[in-house]
Amino acid sequence: MPRLRLAMIIGSLAVLGSSVRAADPPDPHRILDAKSQVAVRDTVSRLIEIVDDLQEAIVQDLQAEKKKTLYRQAEEILGDLEEFQSSLKTDVAREDAYKRFETIDAKVQRLLTHFQSFGRSEHSLVRPSTRMQFTTDELHYTLSLADPAPDRIRQALERQARDLVIAAKDLQRTAEFAIGDTQARGAILGDLAKLTQDSQAVSDSLVGKAASDVTTTACESLTATWTRVIEGIRLLSQKENIYLMRTASRVDLLHERVFRLSEMKGQCPRLAVRG
């Protein structure tokens, strides 16, 4: 009996040792890698500049209590961004970076809510506030790049798709007055209107948690439309449409991100601007 008990104990220890050895290795994605840190620092620096410019516009263009409230909110964001920048050193835990971002993002969204209710007299603040949203979402994207967690990828995809809707609308508005009386004008404007619709369809399918095949179909339609838009834009002169090309380049970048994050098959169409 003692021998049997001893054998059982030895067997249990062996199993325990095997379990310890077979335990999951440390998650390589737990720490923000050096390449990601460089990209995050760059994005945070740009976001600091944007919020700083926005704060200056608040001082110049707003009055009374509204000015004080939004100025303080922007000041809080700047303080959090400076702290975030200082924290980006060796061995930064990804979860810690995520928590800092969530704090910043909540304050950015609160500030954006105010701007969305502005009237024509405060329209000068709309564009810098849009830039703040784009760059905040880019910071989320940069933080999430090396994280394979499905939920994280889904969040990044939703944000990039939302920004694509805004960028597509901006490109459509720009093209309506920027493109001259050329033979391709009608086709390009028609495709741009379809691009806005397709971008909205993709974003709606993601926000509404639609079935994956619905989102895939919407992404395929979006990519086909963007391919036609690229073909039309290539007929235009870059030198005569500098702002239009710059706006189209933002759509191109956002479309590529949506294409990659949604794991679309095939080659992603890219805008190659020519003079």
CATH topology of domain 31-147: Four Helix Bundle (Hemerythrin (Met), subunit A) (1.20.120)
Give 20's pLDDT tier (boundaries 50, 70, 90): very low
**Alpha-carbon distance 242 to 27, whole Å?**
46
Collapsing DSSP to helix, strand or coil, 118 comes out as: coil
Give 16's pLDDT tier (boundaries 50, 70, 90): very low
Q: How many residues are given for the chain? A: 275
**Alpha-carbon distance 30 to 26, whole Å?**
8
Give 180's pLDDT tier (boundaries 50, 70, 90): confident
Q: What does the pLDDT look like over 147-156, one tens digit per residue? A: 989 999 999 9
Over range 182-211, report the average pLDDT.
95
Cβ–Cβ under 8 Å, residues 85 and 45:
yes
Give the pLDDT score at 28: 59
Same fold, 31-147 and 160-270: yes
Give 60's pLDDT tier (boundaries 50, 70, 90): confident
160-270 placed in CATH 1.20.120:
yes
Higher pLDDT, 9 or 93: 93
Q: What percent of the chain has pLDDT over 90?
A: 64
Give the pLDDT score at 19: 47
Q: Where are the domains of the chain?
A: 31-147, 160-270
Report which of 198, 197, 194 is spatially closest to residue 219, judged by C-alpha positions: 198
Give the pLDDT score at 34: 87
